[in-house]
Amino acid sequence: MKLAEYLARRRRARVAAVMLFALIMGFVSAAPPVVTGCQAQDLTPAPDTSMLSPAVSALAQEQQEPAAQPLPEKWVCLTFDDGPSKTTPDVLSALNAAGVHATFFVVATGYNEKYLPLLTEAVSAGHQIALHSASHEYSDIYRSSDAYWEDIALLKERIAPYVDAESIRYLRFPGGSTNTVSRRYGGKGLMKQLKAEVEQKGWHWVDWNVCAEDAVGGHPSADTIYRNVVRETGQQTNCIVLMHDSATTRTTAEALPDIIRWYADNGYTFLTVAEALPIG
């Protein structure tokens, strides 16, 4: 196979793999309403699942490519949105104690400014930093494509003293890639446009297929969060777990040792998002 053709196949397979998580995420919409962070009620119901099969086969095909780095059969990416925050040191302690690398989709709202130096610590411990939003205000960032990219530019500017912001090529849309809240501000076609623009840059947008439901009202206990993760994982062998790293999600850090132990006991390898979905 010619190199160009091979690279094109790899690229298509990876785009399909990312799309798979977007599709799977539809099942998360049955989760209870979320009051902070990424809001489940804003997500669209499960889309046309007939599109799952091509994505799954593309992923399998990619893994059979002899030259491609094979992924383990069972893997999990632990991901944390909305940090850094006062909870971040506890999250890092739990991850580092277990020797597990995670991915942080970060914000820089102005309110969390004093925690931004923790990003340097996270990177030096081997964790991945990815983009989420500067303001996380749906009414602002989803006004238009320009508004969205201005917010991303501001986020990069604010985190640049602490990480190599220019090298970051992974992001997670607030509310996920199939959120419907953006329609109120930027119209029905905005998310489709933003996804295309992310891909044109050669970046990846990343959703999730396991939701810890840790940002719901009532502040769920560590045990509830653990059970949510186990239940939502079900029989899935490739998991991207959505958790939060915020002032109100202290119990997520408390649940981490049990969550990590459960995935390890069940044969999952812990990967960062960049390891699971590498950009060719």
Q: How far is the CB of 13 from Zn ion (least distance, A)?
A: 28
Nearest to 80 by CA among 208, 226, 235: 208
Residue 233: how many other CB atoms lie within 10 Å: 19
* Residue-level length of the chain: 280
Q: How far is the CB of 225 from Zn ion (least distance, A)?
A: 16
Q: Which residues contact 150 (CB under 8 A, 6 or more apart)?
A: none
In this structure, are residues 205 and 241 in contact, taking their beta carbons and an 8 Å threshold? no
Nearer to Zn ion, 62 or 82 (CB): 82
Nearer to Zn ion, 233 or 246 (CB): 246
Q: Where are the beta strands (DSSP E) in the chain?
A: 75-83, 103-107, 128-133, 170-171, 204-205, 210-211, 238-244, 269-270
Nearer to Zn ion, 58 or 181 (CB): 181
Q: Name the residues that contact Zn ion, by CB under 5 A.
A: 37-38, 81-82, 174
Nearer to Zn ion, 42 or 81 (CB): 81
Nearer to Zn ion, 14 or 158 (CB): 158
What are the CA-CA distances from residue 25 to residues 22, 38, 63, 177 (Å)?
5, 12, 22, 9
In this structure, are residues 239 and 76 in contact, taking their beta carbons and an 8 Å threshold? yes
Q: How far is the CB of 138 from Zn ion (least distance, A)?
A: 10
Q: Which residues contact 91 (CB under 8 A, 6 or more apart)?
A: 80, 83, 102, 245, 252, 253, 256
Q: How far is the CB of 132 from Zn ion (least distance, A)?
A: 6
In this structure, are residues 249 and 87 in contact, taking their beta carbons and an 8 Å threshold? yes
Backbone CA torsion sign across 37, 41, 44, 45: positive
Nearer to Zn ion, 174 or 220 (CB): 174
Q: How far is the CB of 37 from Zn ion (least distance, A)?
A: 4
Number of separate helices (H) and strands (E) present in the chain: 11, 8
Q: How far is the CB of 60 from Zn ion (least distance, A)?
A: 31
Nearer to Zn ion, 12 or 184 (CB): 184
Q: How far is the CB of 184 from Zn ion (least distance, A)?
A: 17
